[in-house]
């Protein structure tokens, strides 16, 4: 079975999203918990605990927790001012 058979057709080359998809931009729009923890220098358990308490900005995509660059910046800013516990 090919990707076309499964409905995973690539966007047309003239589609604006085609360049973004091929460059990996879309996949980098959201960071995983592990990626966010590594970027912030924290453990994944610290990240999960704060997301459970809604103490840090994050996104829920179904059952998955994800972060944007803006979320990470807000977390770093809050930590720098002592607003995080």
Q: Residue 43: give the domain boundaries.
A: 16-81
Mean pLDDT of 60-66: 96
Q: Is residue 51 part of a domain?
A: yes
Q: Is residue 76 part of a domain?
A: yes
Instruction: Supply the CATH number for residue 39's domain.
Output: 1.10.1660
68 alpha-carbon distance from chain centroid: 5
pLDDT digits (tens, 9 = 90+) for 19-59: 445 555 555 789 999 999 999 999 999 999 999 999 999 99
pLDDT tops 60 at residue 9: no
């Amino acid at each position: 079975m090919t990707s076309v058979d499964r409905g995973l057709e690539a966007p047309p080359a003239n589609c604006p999203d085609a360049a973004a998809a091929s460059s990996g931009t879309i996949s980098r729009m959201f960071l995983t918990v592990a990626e966010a923890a590594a970027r912030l220098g924290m453990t994944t358990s610290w990240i999960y605990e704060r997301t459970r308490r809604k103490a840090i900005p994050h996104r829920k995509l179904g059952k998955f927790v994800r972060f944007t660059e803006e979320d990470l910046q807000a977390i770093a800013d809050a930590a720098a001012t002592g607003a995080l516990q």
